[in-house]
Amino acid sequence: MLPTKLPAVKRKQKLLDYLRSNYDLYLFLVPGLLALVIFKYIPILGISVAFKDFTLREGIIGSPWANPWFLHFQTLFALPQFIRVVTNTLIINLYMLVFQWPIPIILAIAISEIGSMGYKRVAQTVTYMPHFLSWVVVGAIFIDILSTQNGLVNIVLGWFGVEPVLFLARPPLFRPILVISQAWKESGWASIIYLAALQSIDPQLYDAARIDGATKMQQVWRITLPGLLSTMVFVVLLRIARALDYNVQQIIMLYNPLVYERGDVISSYIYRVGLQQLKFSLTTALGVFKGLIGLLMVVFSNYLARRFAGRGLF
């Protein structure tokens, strides 16, 4: 750690010496920082589109300001689809938090309990693999499995005398399909962070618990889960912060007009209306609204985490 009470010249020289001796480590940060600036910070300048009557011909700078400046927000809040897409986004993310969030924790604990290193590596590889498939591939797999013609699920239902079901055309079934497909694709990858957190738990705690006669479930409940608490809080905070965001690729691959009532979310609405109908100002206003609500939600969830769990992001 650099001393804080040295004269300014010496502190500057110390800093330069430190950077020279560790320059190779800082070089690793450059690609990530460039990606962050190019794809996250520079696009922030496009927020002005929400307050302009944007046209492609005149561009962001040349397009005139809307009169009044909040006109597109007024139009957005008056749309009947606005409440629907916001509600759908919140409900689907709540489904993901309640039903899909525990799966990586259970999977990480199960993998860590495998005694054979070979079996453990096989289990990790098999569960991680779906993450590297694009949603085009995963969507095609689920469309094929749920198909009314030779779809595996409908074949099994047919054995019990059930008529073929149009799963992807029935609004009540669409949200569970989203949760199941997301869990299948991402649970293995999401378990990595919990597997890493498990390594930080002192093995002597388990030894002492076994000596005291604790069962496996008692060890998990009294040692493993408390050891994962900070990681679980962190993941929940991130999920709450993205409560108005959702993976548009998954939605676009699986939804259709028959399930817009239950499956149309903010991201898919922005894609359909903003890019296909060229209503850039309106959908940018929706994006600004989503970002502001996300900021408020992460601050509020961090307050709740510090209040009830004793720890948070900041």
Distances (CA, A) of 127 to 116, 117, 182, 183, 186: 17, 15, 13, 11, 9
Confidence label for 308 from pLDDT (cuts 50, 70 and 90): low
For the stretch 205-256, pLDDT in tens is: 888 988 888 888 888 888 888 888 888 888 887 787 777 888 888 998 998 8
Task: Go through the chain and tell me how many residues it has.
Answer: 314
Q: What is the pLDDT of residue 183?
A: 92
pTM here is: 0.81
Nearest-Å Rg of the Cα atoms of the chain is 25
One-letter amino acid identity for 98? V
Distances (CA, A) of 305 to 102, 223, 308: 18, 20, 5
For the stretch 97-155, pLDDT in tens is: 888 889 999 999 999 888 788 888 898 889 999 999 999 999 999 999 999 888 899 99
Q: What is the spatial distance between Cα 49 and Cα 29, in angstroms, rounded to a whole number?
A: 31
The dihedral over CA atoms of 150, 151, 156, 157, expressed in degrees to the nearest 10, equals: -100
How do the domains of the chain map onto residue ranges?
76-308
Q: What is the pLDDT of residue 184?
A: 93
Q: So what CATH class is 76-308?
A: mainly alpha
- Which residues have CB under 8 Å from 271's CB, separation 6+? 248, 252
Distances (CA, A) of 301 to 88, 238, 239, 294, 308: 20, 9, 10, 10, 10
Q: What is the spatial distance between Cα 30 and Cα 279, in angstroms, rounded to a whole number?
A: 36
- Which residues have CB under 8 Å from 115's CB, separation 6+? none
Q: What is the pLDDT of residue 7?
A: 64
